């Protein structure tokens, strides 16, 4: 009897670990998710520490093992798994002792306790130099700043750290194979990697009194990090000797899962916050709040513009304009009203900066604002204006990423993509064909699995994986409506003037 061959793919995120078995045809089987716990602390205000955000790394391994064991219980045989691929949250600091176990909880990407250290690093190395070398700016969330914080605030723990890892998947790889590795996408968030050469800047660590020998080896996403050893096989049920790939950081996995594998490809992520990301050949503008990461495809970068306001604006609009319903009923009521409104006739503009903004403007004090309200304005029009405001902000960012040219095709992922009306608004605002893939919650795991396709020869390249696998999967496509698109061109011309006109009031 012929048994299916699989890539075991895991996405180890902040709230949980998702796992799935991916077949040669790209089908996802045996999807599972295990939650993980985050530890929040108040920090030390006297030392200018912000709220602390940490996790225990061993729970990541346990989550992976739990999912794997569920596969064997369902009848999958370990020998059916050809290779293991993982993605994980990036920008962490995970100090590991000589025994291979953590010396303290992992300091997560959203932990900004090292703001003071970041300021001193920027002075020591030069902010312009940091941007030129790494493609990114320096702040308290960057691992280099957190390492200096550890050296100064926890010297005993730093001394006890044999190696430092930067992604949750790196720790699980260490526990499965015994190897200390990371990928260029994750390393690009560390503040320590030269983006053009994809090499460590060990001299920076030395200037700061830190030990470069603690850094993990830098491998390509589709390089084999090692093989599952006997102890890990006993814990997880994977066959000893199963190859484990180096994998990729979560933003890189989302990028691959969205099919952004060639220069100029672009996608939008609509979560609570959001981002626009594109594949580019060289870093773009630094002053516009962009971040640059190494793409899994050599010769490409991922330019990411993070926005503070996306699904949170949608949620707020539902609570205010949802007609008094609660829960999912409120979202459904909001969706019906928004869908019934003639958007080409709408005159209300909404600046969606409810939580300040990072891109296309950097202004923590900015707020949401309606412009164009009249006695004839309806609840449906205001609700639509909120969705339009986010889409218009995303368009503004797209123009920054692409030098003023909007894409002809755009992939939309994240929870916001479940709103049919919002997807249509994006198509009309951007004048682009918008595609929403199915199984969106598992796209990072599928993107991560693409590295296995390349390594096993199931695909010739990441672009070939996109054509052969992603483009054949179920999806919904939205074409722009000519009348609405023309109306949004006029709206956009006004929208870009809103923030400059209102900035002094924030």
pLDDT at position 284 over 80: no
Domains, the chain, with CATH or none = 6-246 (3.30.420.40), 259-438+474-506 (3.30.420.40)
CB contact at 8 A, 123 and 284: no
Across residues 433-448, what is the average pLDDT? 90
Spacing of C-alpha 7 from chain mean position? 22
What pLDDT band is residue 285 in, cutting at 50, 70 and 90? Answer: low
The reported pLDDT for the residue numbered 44 is 56
Give me the half-sphere count of Cα atoms (radius 13 Å) on the Cβ side of residue 174. 27
Q: What is the rounded CA–CA span in Å between residue 255 and residue 361?
A: 23
307 by DSSP, 3-state: which?
Answer: strand
Total Cβ atoms within 10 A of residue 281? 11
pLDDT in tens, 217-229: 999 999 999 999 9
pLDDT in tens, 17-27: 999 999 999 99
Across residues 94-122, what is the average pLDDT? 94
235 by DSSP, 3-state: which?
Answer: helix
Which three-class secondary structure string do you get for 382-420? HHHHHHHHHHHHHHHHHHHHHCCCCCCEEEEECHHHHCH
pLDDT in tens, 298-318: 999 999 998 989 999 999 999
Place of tokens 């199963």: 242
What pLDDT band is residue 54 in, cutting at 50, 70 and 90? Answer: very high
Across residues 472-485, what is the average pLDDT? 96
pLDDT at position 286 over 70: no
Q: What is the rounded CA–CA span in Å between residue 396 and residue 430?
A: 10
* pTM reported for the whole predicted model: 0.87
pLDDT at position 65 over 70: yes
Q: CA triplet 19, 90, 203: central angle to 5 degrees?
A: 140
pLDDT at position 13 over 60: yes
What pLDDT band is residue 287 in, cutting at 50, 70 and 90? Answer: low
**How does 120-136 read in b/e, with b if 16+ C-beta sit within 10 Å?**
ebbeebeeeebbebbbb
Total Cβ atoms within 10 A of residue 376? 7
What pLDDT band is residue 111 in, cutting at 50, 70 and 90? Answer: confident
8: left (phi over 0), alpha (psi -120 to 50) or beta: beta
pLDDT at position 48 over 60: no
pLDDT in tens, 312-362: 999 999 999 887 777 788 899 999 999 999 999 999 999 999 999 988 888
pLDDT in tens, 248-266: 999 999 999 999 999 889 9
Q: What is the mean pLDDT of the chain?
A: 93
The reported pLDDT for the residue numbered 292 is 94
Q: Is the dihedral of CA 352, 355, 358, 363 positive or negative?
A: positive
Q: Is the dihedral of CA 425, 306, 9, 5 positive or negative?
A: positive
pLDDT at position 376 over 80: yes
Tell me how far CA of residue 383 lies from CA of 268, 310, 334, 416, 470, in angstroms: 21, 14, 8, 14, 33
What pLDDT band is residue 114 in, cutting at 50, 70 and 90? Answer: very high
Q: What is the rounded CA–CA span in Å between residue 86 and residue 312?
A: 29
pLDDT in tens, 386-415: 999 999 999 999 998 888 889 999 999 988
Across residues 418-426, what is the average pLDDT? 97
């Amino acid at each position: 009897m012929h048994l299916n061959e699989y890539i075991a793919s895991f996405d180890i995120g902040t709230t949980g670990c998702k796992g799935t078995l991916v077949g040669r045809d790209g089908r996802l089987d045996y999807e599972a998710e295990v939650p993980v716990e985050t530890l929040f602390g108040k920090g030390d205000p006297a030392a200018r520490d912000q709220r602390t955000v940490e996790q225990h790394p061993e729970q990541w391994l346990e989550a992976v093992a739990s999912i794997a064991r569920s596969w064997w219980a369902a009848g999958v045989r370990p020998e059916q798994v050809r290779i293991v691929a993982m993605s994980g949250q990036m920008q962490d600091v995970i100090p590991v002792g000589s025994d291979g176990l953590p010396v303290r909880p992992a300091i997560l990407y959203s932990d900004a306790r090292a703001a003071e250290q970041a300021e001193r690093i920027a002075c020591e190395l030069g902010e312009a130099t940091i941007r030129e070398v790494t493609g990114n700016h320096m702040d308290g969330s960057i691992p280099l700043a957190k390492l200096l914080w550890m050296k100064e605030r926890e010297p005993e723990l730093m001394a006890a750290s044999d190696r430092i890892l930067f992604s949750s998947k790196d720790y699980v790889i260490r526990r499965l194979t015994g190897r200390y590795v990371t990928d260029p996408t994750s390393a690009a968030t560390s503040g320590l990697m030269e983006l053009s050469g994809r090499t460590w800047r060990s001299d920076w660590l030395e200037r700061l009194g830190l030990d470069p020998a603690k850094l993990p080896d830098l491998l390509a996403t589709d390089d084999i990090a090692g093989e599952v050893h006997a102890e890990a096989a006993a814990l997880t049920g994977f066959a000893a000797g199963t190859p484990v790939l180096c994998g990729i950081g979560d933003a890189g996995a989302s990028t691959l899962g969205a099919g952004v594998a060639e220069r100029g490809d672009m996608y939008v992520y609509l979560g609570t916050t959001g981002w626009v990301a594109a594949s580019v050949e060289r870093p773009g503008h630094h002053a516009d709040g962009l971040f640059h990461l190494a793409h899994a495809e050599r010769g490409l970068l991922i330019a990411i513009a993070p926005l503070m306001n996306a699904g949170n604006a949608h949620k707020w609009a539902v609570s205010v304009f949802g007609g008094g319903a609660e829960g999912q009923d409120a979202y459904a009521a909001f969706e019906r009203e928004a869908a019934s409104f003639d958007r080409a006739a709408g005159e209300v503009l909404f600046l969606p900066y409810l939580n300040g903004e990072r891109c296309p403007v950097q202004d923590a004090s900015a707020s949401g604002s309606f412009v164009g309200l009249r006695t004839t304005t309806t609840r449906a029009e205001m609700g639509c204006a909120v969705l339009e405001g986010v889409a218009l902000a995303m368009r503004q960012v797209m123009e920054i990423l692409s030098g003023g040219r909007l894409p002809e095709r755009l992939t939309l992922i994240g929870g916001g993509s479940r709103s049919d009306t919002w997807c249509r608004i994006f198509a009309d605002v951007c004048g682009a064909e918008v595609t929403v893939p199915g199984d969106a919650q598992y796209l990072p795991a599928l993107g991560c699995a693409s590295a296995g396709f390349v390594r096993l020869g199931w695909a010739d390249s990441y672009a070939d994986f996109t054509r052969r696998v992603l483009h054949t999967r179920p999806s919904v496509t939205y074409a722009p409506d000519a009348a609405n698109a023309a109306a949004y061109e006029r709206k956009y011309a006004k929208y870009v003037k809103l923030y400059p006109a209102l900035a002094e009031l924030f």
